[in-house]
Every structure is written in C-alpha cells, then in structure tokens.
Amino acid sequence: MTKPKLVASVLFTIPVPEPFDYAIEPDLDVQPGDYVLAPLGARQMRGVVWAVRDAGVQDEGRTLKTIEQQLPVPPLSASCRDFVDFVARYTCHLQSVVLRMVLSTPDALVPAPVQVSYARSPASPAKLTAAREKVLQACQSGSFGATELARRAGVSVGVIKGLAAAGGLTTTKASADQPFATPDLSLRGKTLTASQQHAADALVALNKGDAFAPALLDGVTGSGKTEVYFEALADVLARDETAQVLVLLPEIALTQDVLARFEKRFGAQPAQWHSERSMPQRRRVWREVAHGRARIVVGARSALFLPFANLRMIVVDEEHDNSFKQEEGVLYHARDMAVARAKMANAGIILASATPSLESLVNARSNRYAHMRLAARPGAAVLPPISTIDLREHSPGPGCWLSPPLLEAMDGTLARREQVLLFLNRRGYAPLTICRHCGERMKAPDSSTYLVEHRFSGRLVCHLTGYSRPKPKNCPACDAQDSLHPVGPGVERLEEEVRLRFPQAVTEVFSSDTMDGAEQVRSLIGRMEAGQIDILIGTQMAAKGHNFPNLTLVGVVDADMGLQGADLRAGERTYQTLVQVAGRAGRADRPGRALLQTHQPDHEAIAALCSGDREAFIGAELGLREDMGFPPYGRLAALVFSSLNEKEVDALSRRFVAAAPFVDGVDIWGPSEPPFAKVRGRWRRRVLVRSDRSIDLSALIAAWRSRIDLPRSIRLKVDIDPYSFL
C-alpha cells in the first residue's frame, strides 16, 4: 500500500459494476489500455487500465494497492475501449461483462508456448533403424512438430526424440503462435463488369477520407458483391500498411468456399474467428490481431470484440441475417454494433446483402448510408423466375407434402440431369407427435414446447433447450400401444417421400442434425457442387451463400411457414429467406426457377417475391412499421423475467411495470405470457417497451431497473432491439 501520485482505474472481467483504483509505482509507465496484473482480494487478476489520472483530493486518506505488472501485449485501443463502454451502456450490461468478450482468450496475454520443430540433419545418425528411416523420409519436405512428424512417419514420439539425440534431426524452437502470411496486394481480382466497377469505385472513393463512411452494398444474389467489397478492402490495405480489416459472416457461411476466395484474391489465408476454432487457434488469432499483424480477419459476430490495433474497415456480409443477433449472455446485434465499432474507430463499414434489412434500407434512403446497387448477375446468369403453387388447388394428398406440379417439375429437372433443392425449414421428422387414442400432445417436461420427432436418432427433441428422450412405444398419458402419431413434415419425413417418389435419384438431407461439424458441411457442399447429389433437402442451412452451378429447381415446400405469429419481422424474414433460397437456382449459363407451395399466394411477401417488386413490399412493410412506431421508426426492447415460481414471476413483473417511468413517447405492453411460457423449468413473463427514436431507451431501462430491487430468484433479461418474440 502506498500513497499514490498516479492512479489507474482497472477494469476486470469479473462482474463488478465499475473499474477499481490502483496506485502506479513510479517505475511503471502505465497507460490507458494497458493489460495489467493487479491484486483483487486474495488473488492477482488480469485487467485493462481504463483511465490514468493524477491523484487528487478524492484520493487523500485512501491507501491503494499497486499494480503488480504490465502484461506483454499491445494496449487495447481507445476506440475499442469506447466500444466496450458503448456496448455495455446500449445493452444494459456491466462494462466488465462486455470486457470479458474482448478478453475471451486470456492465454493470449502471456507469452506463447515455444514449439520445437524437427528437420533432417545433414549428418546421418550412427544407428539407422527401420522406424528412424521412416522419420527421415517423412521430414524430407520440411520441418514439423514432434507429434505431427510422428503421425506422418507412423512412429512414436519417442523415436523422433531418440533420432534427434543421435544427431539425425536438427531442432529449432519457435513461438507456437506464428504470424499469418501477409496479403499480397499486387494481386488483382476478377475483371469487374461495368456496374461492379462502378460500385467498387464508389466504395473506394467513399473511404479515401479514412473516416466513418457507412455504405449499403445492395445486390441480387450472385451479382458479385464479394468481388466488389474485395476491391474496397484491397484499397484500404494498400494505402496503409498497418491497416486491418474485418469481414463478418453468418457462421454457416464460413465455409471453405469463401475462405478459398479470400486466399485467391489476397494470396494469403485470412485469420479466422468462429466457434469451431480451437483454443490455440483462437489464441494465435487474438495475439496476431492485437499486434496488428493479422491484417485480414474473417469471423462470426464475436470477432467484433477482437482487440484490433488499427481497424480500418468492417464488412458485414449478409447483413440481414438473423444469426448476427446474439441471443445468450450480452444480447447484441452484430450488424448494429459493427456500425458503432466502425464509427468509434473512424473506419469504413460496408453492409452487404441481397435482401437488406429494413433498418439498413431506411438508413440508405435517408442518406445516412451511401447506397450501392448491383441489379444483375454478371455474364448470362439471370435471377430465377419465382412462381407459386396454390396448395388449395393442388393438394399433395394425405400424408404427403409435394404437390403434383412440384413433382412434375422435379421429374423434368432430373430428366435433364440437373439438380433440385427442396427447402423446408424444419429439422427432424415431424414437428408434433399426438396420441391417436387420447389426443395427448408430446411436450417437453420442463418447457412449454412440443417435442419434435427425430427418426434419425429415434428420439423426441425439444428444439429450444435440446432436451430429448427416446420415443416411447406407449402413450405416456393413456398407455395406449403404438398410438403415437407424427403430425406435419420435417426434412426427414420429406426425405422419406422423396425416396419413395424418386427411388433412382441420389437424395441427401442438409440440416444441422445430419451435419456433424464444418467438415461434413464442406463435404456435402463439395458433393453438391460436383453434381453427385440429385435432390438436396435442406433447412435454412442450405439457403445461404452456396453456389451450385447445376441446381436449376428450388422447391419451397411450405412458403407460409414463417408468416404466422405475432413477430414484427415475420413478413420481412419470410421474404428474405425465400429470396435467398430462390437465388440458389440457376447460375452462369443455366436458367433456374423457384416454385413456392403456399396456401396464401396473395400474401404481400409472397406476391412481391413472384412479381419481383421488392420496392412495393418494402414500401408496404415500412408503412406498417411507421404507423406502429416500430423499428426502424421507433425503438423496441423486451424485458423477460423468469423464476422457478410462476406466482413470483407474475407478481414481480407486475410490480416492475407498476414502477415504470412516465415518459411521453414510451409505450409499455405487458407483462404477458410469451409463447414459451416455461423454459428449463423457469416460468417466464415478457414486457415489451416501445419508444420514439428520440428517446434513449437503454438509459431509460437502466434507470427503471435501478429503482427496483429484484430478489435473486428472479432473472431479468434485457433485450434491446429484440428479434425473438418467443
């Protein structure tokens, strides 16, 4: 303990409300952003210096602990610290909880482990056994770590070590976290079409000023948005040799295909950041990003929280995609936070989509974002015509889901040796299982959800919580034997029908249940691209980003599916998904088409799809939103209370609403029972808060919450800009 001259406020990643003050010893040069080790209680904790100030009157009489040491990592930039503060304030979370998202790989704060690699030595060892020969053979092409070399040679690690000791191998020591290859900026991209070049030039010009300059790159599927934003990235990287760029993709899009395109364009693999990366891989990316050496980062939403040294441009590809919304922990929308991040870093930002969100379109219309459009696909490729099959006229027949016109179209497509994609956004075999004897519907025991039958695994599964049980033989309610009956289709059931109808065709299912990890996804995409699959049955996993050159028919089995429910984005989401799915059909020189099976061919979203009149649809949707004062014309937040005790959650959520601030321009609805009134044994109540745009809804909710002391048995989840209303 010392009397301080300089005081540092250090933010830790444990959930405490604010930074702690520490004295800085004169021999330490501590600056804001530095990563430090400091005593907290009995422990030494890692944290980040949030501010440094001269000791003042407020410190008199205080004895402060001192900062123990600085960690060997470049400081967290001021713009990244501002971003942490912003996200915390906006989402109503503690700064420390948001900082934990930045410090997601604490291992990166200490020097990287040293790895020994082995190479052939010019000298030959005294004793050469058969195993040693294999090792020498295996390392002819380079140097390898012991485990890798042992694997290549098919010997034990002991053999490698023995051979090295005998002088047959040389050893070199290097950091396990090697830098990423630097992009080769002399490489050129594809020759752009006139309209692509126009958009690329506009993006480059927009970003010349190195200031916050948001742009919406709005181009039909396959119009070459990726090629266009590559040019903007290349320009930023070429102008400043320390510049770093970040491309956010929906997780599923992080396939080999996209990565290969980056590698081809920039002559180097980008650093990748997503949930399938191992801890050492993350540590390497984090460290290289912090040192400014990883210049191109491609990642899922959490890559936004990486500690970039000099972030100059962000691209949010498929910006409309709902998977950018984080629904656990700190609830944030990565697209919106990316815009904030770019603003704080004075960096460029490009939001790219074939079906931009209404939020982004309104920003473009009001000139807050520059708007670049690509209306056509390059070359001869045309967008597929979309038409409906009215299921009221063309019924598929009992227990079937494919109508006669769709079957006929499939027949024709297969006869031409082209591929079919059937889209049904429902995993499993059947969404509902009922007892034919007593009418019992199979529900999850701890949640108010119906169990979905998965024949693949023989289980009934809750898609919300992951709970599952084997499918019983008898009805659990009335004990009738073999009375449980599947209702409605899932992809597995559709597969059954397809195999029956098209026994000669090679049929595969593309859904998260049938794909175990990225490797399987890649392999399936490879088979589809190579034409080894005739009919692909897919959930939304199949709807995104893939280019299948021989796919000419897309059949949407249930176009009405997303339209039900009281979700403010139901129409928009259905429209976006179906445009994306239909966009899979017909590339390059093969025209494609999309057929939508629907009971509501006149629904605005469906009619707009068929007529291709996006503007009419957007106009109608925006009109509705404006009338209701909903986003993007107003703000919305959801407060979700939960407790193990239903009476308690009911009473306390009411009390909370009763204590609401009276502010003009704010509407409060609820508490009400959400569709999932119980999840994992906890009863839930939901309050929706709507406000005019001029109101700082996050601040209002934070102040409101601080007025009420909720018992620990109640959890309150604040969801600013909610996307899920379940």
Under rule CB under 6 A, residue 77 binds ligand ADP: no
Least distance CB 219 / ligand ADP (angstroms): 5
Minimum separation from the CB atom of position 193 to ligand ADP (A): 5
Least Cβ distance, residue 272 to ligand ADP (angstroms): 18
Decide whether 315 or 718 has the Cβ nearer to ligand ADP.
315
Cα–Cα–Cα angle for 37, 40, 42, nearest 5°?
A: 110
| Under rule CB under 6 A, residue 511 binds ligand ADP | no
Cβ proximity to ligand ADP: between 188 and 712 the closer is 188
Nearer to ligand ADP by Cβ, of 192 and 290: the residue is 192
Q: Which is nearer to ligand ADP, 403 or 580 (CB)?
A: 580
Closest to 381 measured CA to CA, from 139, 585, 598, 165 = 585
Check binding of 192 to ligand ADP (CB under 6 A). Answer: yes
From 75, 219, 601, 631, residue interacting with ligand ADP (rule: CB under 6 A):
219
Smaller CB separation from ligand ADP, 223 or 326: 223
448 CB-near residues (< 8 Å, 6+ apart): 675, 676, 677, 678, 679
Q: Name the residue nearer to ligand ADP (CB basis): 316 or 622.
A: 316
- Residues near 690 by beta carbon (within 8 Å), at least 6 away in sequence: 629, 630, 634, 635, 636, 666, 667, 668, 669
Contact predicate 330/100, CB 8 Å: no
* CB closer to ligand ADP, 207 vs 223: 223
Q: What mask of x and - would describe binding to ligand ADP in positions 392 to 421, judged by CB under 6 A?
A: ------------------------------
Least separation in angstroms between residue 703's CB and ligand ADP is 43
The Cα 30–Cα 39 span in angstroms is 16
Q: What angle do CA 446, 448, 453 make, to 5 degrees?
A: 85
Nearest residue (CB) to ligand ADP, 264 versus 707: 264
| The one segment of 215-223, 396-404, 563-571, 598-606 that binds ligand ADP by CB under 6 A | 215-223
Cα 168 to the center of its chain, rounded Å: 48
How many CA atoms lie less than 13 Å away from 50 in the CB half-sphere?
18
Q: How many CB atoms lie within 10 A of CB 724?
A: 15
Binding characters for ligand ADP, 341-380, by CB under 6 A (x = yes): -------------------------------------x--
Q: Which is nearer to ligand ADP, 509 or 525 (CB)?
A: 525
User: The tokens of 209 are what?
Assistant: 């000023």
Choice between 551 and 568, CB closer to ligand ADP: 551
Site stretch for ligand ADP (CB under 6 A), options 41-49, 78-86, 190-198, 272-280: 190-198
Is 190 a binding residue for ligand ADP by CB under 6 A? The answer is: yes
CB 364, min distance to ligand ADP, A: 17
Q: Binding to ligand ADP (CB under 6 A): which residues in 690-709?
A: none
Shortest distance, position 584 Cβ to ligand ADP, whole Å: 10
Q: How many CB atoms lie within 10 A of CB 188?
A: 9
Contact range with ligand ADP by CB under 6 A, out of 60-68, 96-104, 150-158, 214-222: 214-222
Identify whether the C-beta of residue 533 lies closer than 8 Å to the C-beta of residue 419. Answer: yes
Q: Are strands 419-423 and 551-556 parallel, antiparallel or unpaired?
A: parallel
Query: Amino acid identity, residue 395?
Result: S
Q: Interface with ligand ADP includes 145 (CB under 6 A)?
A: no
User: Closest Cα partner for 236 from 317, 341, 349?
Assistant: 349
Determine how β-strand 213-219 pairs with β-strand 169-175. unpaired
- Cβ nearer to ligand ADP, comparing 180 with 262: 262
Burial profile 51-63: b = 16 or more Cβ within 10 angstroms, e = fewer: ebeebeeebeeee
549 binds ligand ADP (CB under 6 A): no
Instruction: Single out the segment in contact with ligand ADP by CB under 6 A; choices: 188-196, 319-327, 435-443, 623-631.
Output: 188-196
Nearer CB in complex with ligand ADP: 379/675: 379
Q: Which of 70, 547, 600, 724 binds ligand ADP (CB under 6 A)?
A: 547
- Give backbone dihedrals phi and psi of 430, rounded to 5 degrees, phi first: -145, 135
d(CA 583, CA 590): 13
**Torsion of Cα atoms, 52 then 56 then 61 then 62, to 10°:** -10
Give every strand in the sheet of 311-317, ordered side by side: 271-273, 296-299, 244-248, 311-317, 348-353, 213-219, 370-374
The residues in 220-279 that bind ligand ADP, with binding defined as CB under 6 A, are: 221-227
> 721 in the Ramachandran plot: left (φ > 0), alpha (ψ -120 to 50) or beta?
left
- Closest separation between CB of residue 609 and ligand ADP, Å? 18
Minimum Å gap between C-beta 190 and ligand ADP is: 4
The dihedral built from the CA positions of residue 127, 129, 132 and 138, taken in this order, carries a sign that is positive
Any contact of residue 642 with ligand ADP (CB under 6 A)? no
571-610 positions binding ligand ADP, by CB under 6 A:
none
Contacts with ligand ADP by CB under 6 A: the residue count is 15
Task: Find the part of the chain contacting ligand ADP (CB under 6 A) among 191-199, 305-313, 334-342, 495-503.
Answer: 191-199
Minimum gap (Å) between residue 222 Cβ and ligand ADP: 4
Query: Would you give the binding string for ligand ADP spanning residues 290-329, x where CB under 6 A is met?
Result: ----------------------------------------
User: Cα 620 to chain center, whole Å?
Assistant: 29
Residue with the CB atom nearest ligand ADP in the bound state: 224
**Is 193 near ligand ADP (CB under 6 A)?**
yes
Please state the closest distance from residue 227 (CB atom) to ligand ADP, in A. Answer: 4
Closer CB to ligand ADP, 96 or 577, in the complex? 577
Dihedral in degrees, nearest 10, Cα atoms 217, 218, 224, 227: 0
Minimum CB–partner distance for residue 386 and ligand ADP (Å): 17
**Which residue lies nearer to ligand ADP by CB, 201 or 210?**
201
Our CB check for ligand ADP shows the closer of 190 and 455 to be 190
For residue 298, the minimal CB distance to ligand ADP (Å) is 14
> What residue has token string 């009992």?
398
Tokens of 303: 């890559």
Residue among 329 and 379 whose Cβ is closer to ligand ADP: 379
In whole angstroms, the minimum distance from the beta carbon of 188 to ligand ADP comes to 12
Q: Taking a C-beta distance cutoff of 8 angstroms, is the pair 533, 507 a contact?
A: yes
Distance of alpha carbon 120 from the chain centroid: 44
CA dihedral (691, 697, 700, 702) positive or negative = positive
Whose tokens are 């890559």? That residue is: 303
**Buried/exposed 263-272: b ≥16 CB within 10 Å, e otherwise:** bebbebebbb
Residues at the contact surface with ligand ADP, assessed by CB under 6 A: 190-193, 196, 219, 221-227, 378, 547
